[in-house]
Structure 1
Amino acid sequence: MTTQIVLPIDQNEVRENSQSKNEPEWLSNLRLEALTLAGQLEYPKLEKTNLNRWSIESYGKYKSTAPITSIADLPEAYQEALQDQKDNLLIQRNSNVVFKSLSDDLAKKGVIFTDLETAAKEHPELVQPYFMQAVKKEENKLTAIHTALWSGGVFLYVPKNVEVEIPLQVLFLSEDDSSIFSPHVLIVADTNSSVTYVDHVTSEGSSNELVHNSIVEVFVKSGAKVQFSTLHNLNDSITDLSYRRAVVENDGRIEWIIGEMNDGNCMSDTSTVLKGNGSTSDAKIVCIGLNEQKLNITTNATHFGKNSDSDMITRAVMNDNATAIINGVTKIEHGAKNANGEQTEKVLMLSPTARGDANPMLLIDEDEVTAGHAASVGQVDQNQIYYLMSRGISKETAERLIIYGFLAPVVSEIPIKQVSDQLQALIEGKLER
């Protein structure tokens, strides 16, 4: 007797949505192939987390949102956040991109910065070789569903030897809990190029359950450098399921700066494949959990290249009855001589009922390497509080200063002051509830 698996999406809807967007045949076929796989695959098996107990079936339907002509058409709060960003900006509202702007200077240099749906039609030679290659559709049910369902998204291509000095920013905004909100970000940095990408994933006005199932793929060619920053600030009715993966070639570098400020449950998987010799990865992640939140945060670096280097720092602050599983995985493959992998995971608990679990893992198949890890789970140090109070600082202020100091290794690394201020404001807002 076979069990029929009911998927949260319908094959006819997937086909009709693809046809309505005039997507190329290869992309339409890929969506349908992935949908078939979604009915066969299981959800990923996470460390000490059972996704089957989460609300992960509500994806909504594709709904087209009208374009806007300027950021003045956005809610006032987002206008203020983007006030200094006139060009090199992309905005997605719900299911589709409604605004995109690229400076003439970067366009003349061959930089492509547009929505992924448009790029798949206009630049198939750049999109098809990379799309769903860092993260495979067949990895698990979530990646298969995403491949079938994604909409909107971003495509960024930086040509050889082009250095983009101005950060490119993206706003992903969910305002309709009945609309699909599953963007895909694809970045290709060609040989000896450099770029800084920043996005903010946020929501407002939603009250019903919704799944944000997103994937980021970054391809860093030889000698290229990509700095990727993201702030996630989704409300408690949205479950955030995010995969981010970079493939780095010879002497390339990826820097991850990630703020997980959601109010709902969150699974975050940020991985780097250090494919080339001399490739490097630096990942800094901060998250805060409140109320009944459940967080599963994984950072992963896999070394193939000789003299490759990875560093991972994760800071989590947990309050109320929130639970965090923080995983750090450094894998050094056979042949990756002189590789170096370092990681640190620290969890600070503000409540006796909060729970934190830091799991550092070193998997080493090569002798000539260096690797290390550090992990800690604990409460605020009372001696530090007493010391600050002895200097005339109130207990509440002392606790807040210690927390900010605990998170500083990530916050201080945000490449744009405006974004750093946003993260600091989000941290302050969550801690003051």
Structure 2
Amino acid sequence: MTENTILKDDFIRSFSEHAGEPKEFTDFRLAAWKLASELDLPFVDKTKIDRWNFTKFDTYQAFTNENAEEVLPEKVQNLVALDDASANFYVQIDTHPAKLQLNAELKSQGVIFTDIFTALKEHPELVLQHLMTEAVKPDEHKLAAFHAALMNGGIFLYVPKNVEIKEPIQAVFVQKDASLPLVNHVLLVADENSSVTYVENYVTLDDTSKGIVNIVEEVVTRRGAKVTFGAVDNLSGHVTAYVNRRGHIGADSRIEWALGLMNDGDTINENVTNLMGDGSSGDVKTVTVGRGKQTQNVTTRVTHYGKASTGTILSHGVMKDKATTIFNGIGHIKHGASKSDAQQESRVLMLSQGARGDANPILLIDENDVVAGHAASVGRVDPVQLFYLMSRGISRAEAERLVIHGFLDPVVKQLPIEGVKVMLKEVIEGKVR
């Protein structure tokens, strides 16, 4: 071990113990840091991420509860229902909680919704049982280990057995100082026969500083549970991001993803749904808009382990300027997952000569008696659609704008919170204008 590694070990131990984290979690961090120095970056098809900075930073800020209450930025106030006492939301600014609200009814039902470090102190056994033990593991590659060692933000949401949460639960993660690395973890556990809708935003207010973001989000569902997961990522063009969202889905359980991937910087997006139980299902809808010179790699995978499991993938992307986006859609039916159904569709709309979009559908079938299919296309705005709209007095620019919004609408309309839906529409409008 080098001197710098020893110093980093001391640094990790110091802030973990100062924060009062359980000894098991301090040891977890230290073991992960050792792995981070040994493991390689993840393999990302058709993208040379070894040239990107994912791990180097000048200053680091651990999670802190200081200034727990503060005036929220206007951009954030437009996203959350501050005046609604029944609303449930959490706002994190950089690495500290700015606002948390969980209504009394959900508390009385045993729902846990808090920052992940408070959850580690108050519910250590429950958190440590699920944190990077099933869906994502620290030994997968360098970025997963780096995340486990330096985690400095995030939330824990637990829905007990038979509890159905009717209103959405919301989280907003704000980068106020982009020079500070954000290593954010979301852990959502839905116990048997429960249901919840969770929606989140990532927002950068600092659009001048260079920075790194490492996000790992785990959704674990037990038998009969249902989770609807919506997200809008809107980080600045100076931020390099690794985003790993993964579902671990039990028998007769379902997850629905609606993801608006709107970062302006170079981004690796990985969304994996592992259908572990018989009768489980996963539906993934993703939209992205690439602009400037950014590079995005979007990998969406649904892996079938359980019998009669169903997985669908729908990915739509719009490319302009000199942006590049690679869509990798993977449906994998494992041996033993008979009667399963894997379907996927990837569409890329090109707006500029210099832009590039690749759609790579992949089906891996290791079992008989299954159904699988895929579709993919890369092309320009349909001239027939433009002609139809322009023949009714609409300008070419407006007609093109309407076609683009219609193309991305399958995901936009899935978001259950009106403020978040409006924000995504505004982000799309700003990008394609």
TM-score bracket relative to the smaller structure:
over 0.9
Matched, 1:375 2:376: yes
Q: In the aligned structure 1, how far is the partner of 2:356 from the partner of 2:367? A: 35
How much does 1:417 deviate?
A: 2.4
Q: In the aligned structure 1, how far is the partner of 2:406 from the partner of 2:3? A: 48
1:238 paired residue number: 239
SS at structure 2 position matched to 1:128: helix
Gaps of 5+ in 1: none
How much does 1:95 deviate?
A: 1.5
1:423 paired residue number: 424
* Structure 1 runs (4+) greater than 4 angstroms displaced: 3-7
How much does 1:91 deviate?
A: 1.1
Out of 351-360 and 376-385, give the one that drifted further: 376-385
Matched, 1:211 2:209: no
SS at structure 1 position matched to 2:129: coil
Amino acid at match of 2:241: D
CA deviation string 1:29-51 (max 9, x = no partner): 01000000000001011010111
CA deviation string 1:259-303 (max 9, x = no partner): 111111111101111011110000100000001010000111010
**1:33 equivalent among 24, 31, 34:** 31
Out of 102-111 and 91-100, give the one that drifted further: 91-100
Amino acid at match of 1:99: K
2:350 paired residue number: 349
2:125 paired residue number: 125
| Structure-to-structure mapping, 1:5-404, within 5 angstroms | 10-59=8-57, 60-62=59-61, 64=64, 66-69=66-69, 73-83=71-81, 86=85, 87-133=87-133, 134-404=135-405
Does the CA contact (< 8 Å) of 2:178 and 2:204 recur in 1?
Answer: no
Q: In the aligned structure 2, how far is the partner of 1:157 from the partner of 1:431? A: 38
Amino acid at match of 1:192: N
CA deviation string 1:207-237 (max 9, x = no partner): 2221110100111110000011111001111
Does the CA contact (< 8 Å) of 1:146 and 1:213 recur in 2?
Answer: yes
Per the alignment, do residues 5 and 210 of structure 1 end up closer, same or farther by CA in structure 2, a change over 3 Å counting? farther
How much does 1:56 deviate?
A: 2.2
How much does 1:206 deviate?
A: 4.3
How much does 1:55 deviate?
A: 2.7
CA deviation string 1:228-259 (max 9, x = no partner): 11110011111121101111111100011101
CA deviation string 1:170-206 (max 9, x = no partner): 1100111332311100011000000011110011124
CA deviation string 1:332-380 (max 9, x = no partner): 0011110001001111110011000001000000011000000001111
How much does 1:68 deviate?
A: 4.1
How much does 1:418 deviate?
A: 2.3
How much does 1:4 deviate?
A: 7.4
Q: In the aligned structure 1, how far is the partner of 2:12 from the partner of 2:271? A: 28
Amino acid at match of 1:193: S
Aligned residues: 427
Per the alignment, do residues 257 and 396 of structure 1 end up closer, same or farther by CA in structure 2, a change over 3 Å counting? same
Does the CA contact (< 8 Å) of 1:95 and 1:180 recur in 2?
Answer: no
TM-score, normalised to structure 2's length? 0.95
SS at structure 2 position matched to 1:166: coil
Does the CA contact (< 8 Å) of 2:41 and 2:141 recur in 1?
Answer: yes
Per the alignment, do residues 161 and 379 of structure 1 end up closer, same or farther by CA in structure 2, a change over 3 Å counting? same
TM-score, normalised to structure 1's length? 0.95
Percent of aligned positions with the same letter in both sequences?
A: 44
Q: In the aligned structure 2, how far is the partner of 1:78 from the partner of 1:236? A: 19
Does the CA contact (< 8 Å) of 2:179 and 2:212 recur in 1?
Answer: no
SS at structure 2 position matched to 1:83: coil
User: Alignment RMSD, CA only?
Assistant: 1.7
CA deviation string 1:65-117 (max 9, x = no partner): 633436xx111221122135544111111122232111000000000000110
